[in-house]
């Protein structure tokens, strides 16, 4: 394993920070600001325009995070396999990432529906009115939940990344590897036993 993975760490951390920060600002700033527009028929336009401007940058941020994360996982595969606690945290991080990707993709689909609906009356970026068309109101209801789910999931990913950093401390690596030895040795012994039985069967 190489001594440094500065570029991978930068892609991973900056991408995730932008993903989290952009989604949180969008929920508070973009969607919130749309509600301040006087004309109800222009509120969705304002929110949609803000999200449309951010979407390409968000896609780049997510891509950078995934590329950096994949490189870091490749470089640390030995620790994942042998250090106690690292595999569990990695699995949690992967599950959170999958959830955040799914939520982000679905929010984009709903945003496209909002754009296609045109200038319909709404209460805000994610709030409907009695006069809002039913299909738009349904999309807004889902977006209202997703706007907080995405920063929640990406924030949890940041917490998981912080734990990964702590697990890389020399003292944690040593103690975690020692604690993980019984399982590692057991797996190796099981593999050796299976191989031996296979060789015996071949001889017989």
119-156 pLDDT tens trace: 999 999 999 999 999 999 999 999 999 999 999 999 99
**Which of 69, 63, 160, 163 lies closest to 104, judged by CA?**
63
Q: Is 132 left (phi over 0), alpha (psi -120 to 50) or beta?
A: beta
Cα–Cα distance measured from residue 169 to residue 155, given in angstroms and rounded to the nearest whole number: 22
C-alpha closest to that of 128 among 143, 107, 108: 143
Domain range summary for the chain, segments of one domain joined by +: 6-168, 178-204
Chain segment 80-127, per-residue pLDDT in tens: 888 888 999 999 999 999 999 999 999 999 999 999 999 999 999 999
Is the dihedral angle over the CA atoms 4, 10, 13, 16 positive or is it negative? Answer: negative
């Amino acid at each position: 394993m190489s001594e440094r993975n500065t570029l991978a760490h930068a892609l991973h951390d900056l991408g995730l920070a932008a993903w989290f920060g952009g989604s949180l600002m969008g929920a508070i700033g973009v969607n919130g600001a749309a509600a301040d527009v006087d004309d109800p028929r222009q509120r969705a336009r304002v929110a949609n325009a803000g999200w449309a401007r951010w979407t390409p940058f968000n896609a780049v941020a997510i891509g950078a995070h995934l590329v950096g994360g994949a490189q870091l996982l490749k470089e640390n595969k030995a620790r994942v396999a042998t250090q106690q606690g690292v595999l569990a945290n990695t699995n949690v991080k992967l599950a959170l990432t999958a959830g955040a990707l799914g939520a982000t993709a679905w929010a984009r689909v709903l945003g496209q529906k909002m754009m296609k609906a045109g200038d319909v009356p709404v209460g805000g970026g994610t709030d409907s009115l009695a006069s809002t068309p039913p299909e738009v109101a349904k999309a807004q209801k889902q977006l209202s939940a997703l706007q907080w789910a995405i920063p929640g999931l990406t924030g949890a990913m940041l917490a998981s990344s912080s734990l990964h950093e702590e697990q890389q401390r020399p003292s944690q690596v040593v103690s975690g590897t020692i604690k993980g030895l019984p399982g590692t040795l057991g797996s190796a012994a099981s593999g050796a036993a299976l191989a031996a039985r296979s060789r015996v069967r071949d001889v017989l």
